[in-house]
Amino acid sequence: MSSRNNTRSHREVFVGTTAQGSTKMAFLLMSVTVLHLVTLAMLFIATMEKSWWSWGDVEKTDLWYKCMFDNSSETWLCASASESEWLQSVQALMILSVVLSSISFMVFLGQLFTMSKGGLFYFTGLCQLFAGFAAFAAVLIYTFQRKEILQDIRELEMGRFGFCYILAWVCVPLLLVSGALYVHLRKRA
């Protein structure tokens, strides 16, 4: 009788551990998915929004346009940013980062439903890591080459980095962390 009760308790413990493991895995999958979507949204905003460099509230520039606020019409008047090789590099790297992160998310969703148990999300993780490296290269280029990128007669000391630039910097570690998580994530069910 004692050995029979002992066997039951081992089964119950194993089943309980398995249930806890699947709950942890579900939580981890949800967390990684939310992290990926938040990072992708931030990366998209950083690429498309109008504030990589700002001169107060009257003039802003981004990767695509240079905008000035017109007080008489109370609207932003925008013109294409002056093209430079450095700016084109930043544009290409940010677009590459968004594309790689998007591909990574679609591949992750596909792998969730088609990959066999025990499989690793290597491709998804590598895409995220490369997206992080591309965003890192873009913000580094913008940081060190902003004089040539902005090509403005105004003093750069009068301006400051905008929220999109900061958002792009925040995306870099998030992309790298999510990429590392995907590389170590193993499909359990």
Is 114 inside any structural domain? yes
Mean pLDDT of the chain: 83
Give strand pairing partners of 54. 60, 160
Looking at the predicted structure, is the pLDDT value of residue 155 above 90? no
Provide the percentage of residues in the chain whose pLDDT is more than 70: 83
Give the model's pLDDT for residue 61: 84
What band does 11 get if pLDDT is binned at 50, 70 and 90? very low
- So what's the pLDDT on residue 86? 92
Whether the predicted model's global pTM rises above the 0.75 cut: yes
Residue 189, domain member (yes or no): no
Asked if residue 105 belongs to a domain, the reply is yes
125 within a domain of the structure (yes/no): yes
42 Cβ neighbours under 8 A, 6+ residues apart: 167, 170, 171, 174
Most distant CA pair in the chain, distance? 91
Quote the pLDDT of residue 34.
Answer: 94
Domain holding 93, by residue range, is: 2-184
Q: How many CB atoms are located within 10 Å of the residue 128 CB?
A: 33
Return the pLDDT at 97: 97
4, pLDDT greater than 60: no
Into how many domains does the chain fold?
A: 1
Total Cβ atoms within 10 A of residue 134: 22
Q: Quick one: tokens of 15?
A: 């089943």
Choice between 176 and 122, residue whose per-residue pLDDT is larger: 176
Quickly tell me which residue has 């007080």 as its tokens: 71
Give the CATH number for residue 17: 1.20.140.150
Do 68 and 58 touch, CB atoms closer than 8 A?
yes
pLDDT digit string, tens, across residues 94-147? 999 999 999 999 999 998 888 777 677 889 999 999 999 999 999 999 999 988
Angle, helices 122-144/2-48, rounded to nearest 10 degrees: 30
Q: What is the pLDDT of residues 27-64, one digit of tens each?
A: 888 888 999 999 999 999 999 987 888 887 778 888 88
Is 21 part of any domain? Answer: yes
Residue 59: what pLDDT?
83
